[in-house]
């Protein structure tokens, strides 16, 4: 079975400060990892993914994430948070050949002006 | 460029009523899926399809039926609605030929069962 853990319910950060949203995963096999963002009353939007290769992946809106195989983690980061980054963030995992994408429970990010 | 379109956006049902949530995509995606989103539980996969005529169960399929007669459409049917099915439902699709591809989501359908 594949699963994702997002340990924090809410992340509060001051505008301009670094933002980190944590994600750990559990799979049998090599993972495909994804981050999505959801704004209020909207569908999920894709931010970035790790498939293979460089452990540091860059995505939309200045976000990046680092794949750490030994710690089974895929934390989302942004060097300088904006108020407009306030949203719900989901980590998700899948393995090759498995059509099911498993999501974490989500992290609410609040960026304080 | 419509992407994934879901209808209706809002629906209120009484217990025992039936209804169909519609999902259509115009990206020629082979893979389509339905998720439900509940507070504190993230998104849970209900059913998915890897192509016309092929469907399979996700982690919470009970109470829901699906069919896939065309590439574009993937309706979700509730045969006898229950209050436990009150949720926000999302349809999502991706290219089936690219197993590493990301999902494209619709805007969601908010269902309340009284």
| Cβ contact, residue pair A42, B103, below 8 Å | no
Q: Search chain B and give the residue with CA nearest A4.
A: B42
* pLDDT digits 0-9 by tens, B46-99: 999 999 999 999 999 999 999 999 999 999 999 999 999 999 999 999 987 667
Query: pLDDT at position B2, please?
Result: 77
Q: How far is CA B48 from the centre of its chain?
A: 8
Residue B98: the pLDDT is 65
Half-sphere exposure of residue A97: CA atoms within 13 angstroms, side-chain side: 5
* A2 — pLDDT class (breaks 50, 70, 90): confident
pLDDT of A47 > 70? The answer is yes
A45 touches chain B (CB under 8 A): yes
Which residues is A14 bridged to in the sheet? A112
Return the number of CB contacts < 8 Å for A and B. 54
Specify whether the CB–CB gap between A100 and A94 falls below 8 A: yes
Query: How far away is chain B from the Cα of A29, in angstroms, using its nearest Cα?
Result: 14
Contact with chain B for residue A96, Cβ under 8 A: yes
> Is the separation of the CB atoms in A78 and A85 below 8 Å?
yes
Answer whether A44 sits within 8 Å of B102, measured CB to CB. Answer: no
Q: Touching check for B89 and chain A: CB below 8 Å?
A: no
Q: Distance between CA B100 and CA B104 in Å, rounded?
A: 13
**C-alpha–C-alpha distance, residues B45 and B47, integer Å:** 6
Q: What is the mean pLDDT of residues A14-35?
A: 95
Tens of pLDDT, residues A59-100: 999 999 999 999 999 999 999 999 999 999 999 999 877 888
Q: What is the mean pLDDT of residues A39-56?
A: 93
- Per the DSSP assignment, residues forming a β-bridge with A11 are A109
pLDDT at B7: 96
């Amino acid at each position: 079975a594949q699963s994702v853990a997002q340990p924090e319910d809410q992340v509060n950060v001051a505008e301009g400060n670094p933002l980190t949203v944590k994600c750990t995963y559990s799979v049998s096999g090599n993972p495909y990892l994804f981050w999505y963002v959801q704004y209020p009353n909207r569908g999920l939007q894709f931010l970035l993914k790790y498939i293979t290769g460089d452990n540091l992946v860059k995505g939309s809106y200045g976000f990046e994430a680092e794949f750490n195989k030994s710690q089974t983690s895929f934390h989302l980061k942004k060097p300088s948070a904006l108020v407009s980054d306030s949203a719900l963030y989901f980590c998700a995992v899948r393995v090759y050949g498995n059509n099911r994408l498993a999501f974490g429970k989500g992290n609410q990010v609040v960026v304080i002006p | 460029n419509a992407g994934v379109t879901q209808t209706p956006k809002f629906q209120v049902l009484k217990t025992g009523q039936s209804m169909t949530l519609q999902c259509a995509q115009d990206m020629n995606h082979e893979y389509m899926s339905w998720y439900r989103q509940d507070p504190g539980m993230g998104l849970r996969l209900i059913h998915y399809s890897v192509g016309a005529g092929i469907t399979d169960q996700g982690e919470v399929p009970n109470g829901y039926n699906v069919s896939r007669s065309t590439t574009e459409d993937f309706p979700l049917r509730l045969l006898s609605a229950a209050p436990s099915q009150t949720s926000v439902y999302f349809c999502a699709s991706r290219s089936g030929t690219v197993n590493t591809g990301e999902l494209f989501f619709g805007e969601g359908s908010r269902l309340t069962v009284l």
